[in-house]
Every structure is written in structure tokens, then in C-alpha cells.
Amino acid sequence: MELSKFFITIFIFQALIFSAQSASNNSNLFREYIGAEFNNVKFSDLPIHSGVEFHFILSFAIDYTTSSSSASPTNGKFNIFWDTNNLTPSQVSAIKTKHPNVKVALSLGGDSVGNGFAYFNPSSINSWLSNAVSSLTTIIQDYNLDGIDIDYEHFKSDPNTFAECIGKLISTLKKNGAISFASIAPYDDDQVQSHYMALWKKYGHVIDYVNFQFYAYDKGTSVSQFMDYFTKQSSNYNGGKVLPSFISDGSGGLGPGNGFFTACSKLKSEGNLHGIFVWCADDSKGLGFKYEKLSQSLLAI
């Protein structure tokens, strides 16, 4: 009888440890891209819950010339392509002062620039790295930023070159104290995945978050499909903090009005909700940021 009680006690103890470990994998991190679509959205427009860690991600800084019609690559010399009329250095300082739980990052690359795609197109690893460290450090210091996000989606380089350039960039900026965190934003495309998984394989230890673009899957994705996709990408980026995501206008993936929060609740119950990110504040403005409010309420529980 006493032996049975002993084993029951051990079982309960192990269950409690497992439950605590699962819960510890959950996070209250909320992230949102802002400024790419020039919809006059400001940091102060967004609801910010005091119970979350809130990351704004300025979109985008791109190593291209700023000519609107014939932009060309600049080999790591980054320029600002977000809405600088509404998202200024003083406004970064103001939102961080008002909300101590806010951090601000910038995203590199994006889908397009001018009238074409924004290609990752370095002349060489060393020259691109030198230019990128210099130009980004200036922008980061001018805007008092905290981190960077990597969102290149088109490539004129092989996966290894991408891995070395981006991995060394993140490592150098962290070593220099310019940033405290870094994320990547891949999606389920063969070329994209080959580049980001090469980066993850060699430099995953310096990447803090994986902003996987689950909204790039087909519109009408079901909750069960979403959960399968999440499992697959968590395996691809093994050990990484993969964040579920939605697109504000509901044009792809599992929409916020069609089961996204059900999926997130399931992930949270499993201890796998590492946060939530949204594309993007520019579109959410017209919706009154209702899904941002729901996201943060779920994360803050």
C-alpha cells in the first residue's frame, strides 16, 4: 500500500513538472509590422496591452537605391523605405517612453521595391557585410531601435552566401551591442526555405524568433491544417521560437475571424505559443485593431 502511494506521488510530481515545463514555453510576445503601405498609421494608433511584450517592426529597410521607378541594389548599403512621415525617431522614443514594454525593430528586404522584386543580391560576402553593418548601425542608432528582422523573399545568391551574410550580420550587430534580438520571416516556398534553412542550420543560435508567414498558405486554411503546418515548420526550425501569424485583411492562411485564435489556444494548452505576429498595422487600422486586441488578451492571460 505504501509503495503504491509512493508511485502515485512520483507520478503526480512528474506531471506537475511536465505541466510547468510546457507552460514555460509559452510567451506573451506580440509583434506587428508597420509602415510598409503608407496608410498614415502611427505607433500611438495601436492598442498596447501592459501584459505583453510588444514589438513594432518597421517595414522596410532595403539595400536598394530610393528611386521610385528604377531602384537598383546597393550591396548592403541600406536605405529606409517605411513611412517616415508618421514613423520618426522622435515617435519611436515617445512610444517606448510611454510604454516600457514596447521595443522597436526594423525589417530587411520585403517582397518588392520600386516596380520590381527586392532581391538579396550581394557582390561578395565581405563587402555586403561591411556595408550592411555600417549602414544599419547608423539607422538603428538614429531611431533608437532594439532589433532586426530578416524578410528577404527573392534571391540572386546561393543559400550558403545568404546564410553567411545574414548570420554574420546578426552576430556582429549583437556583439557590437547595436541590437538585442533578431528574427527571420520565411514562408513555405522551396527557394525561400532553402535559403532560410541554410541560415538556421549554421546560425540558428543567434536568431531569437521565427516569424513564419503562415498567412502565405492558401486562404481557407483550417485549424487542423494550421496545426499541421505549425508542427512541420517547428521541425524545420528545430529549437526555434516559431510564432503563429495572420494577415489583417484575411487574404491568406487561417484568418483571425476563422479559427486563428482557436489554433493559438490549442498551441497555448500544449505549451507551444511562443507569441503572435501580424501583417500588418497599416491594414489593421481600418479594422480598428480589433484582432490586435484579441491577440494581446490571449497572450496576457
Residue 153 annotated as catalytic: yes
Rounded alpha-carbon distances, angstroms, from residue 184 to 84, 154, 181, 188: 23, 14, 11, 13
* Cα angle for residues 60, 182, 85 (degrees, 5° grid): 25
- C-alpha cell read off for 277: 505576429
233 contacts 205 by C-beta, under 8 angstroms? no
Among candidate residues 2, 32, 37, 153, the one labeled active-site is: 153
The 10 Å CB-count burial string (b at 16+, else e) for 87-110 is: beeeebeebbeebeebbbbbbbbb
CA 193, CA 245: separation in Å to the nearest integer?
A: 17
8 A C-beta contact, residue 127 and residue 76? yes
Catalytic residues, by residue number, are 153
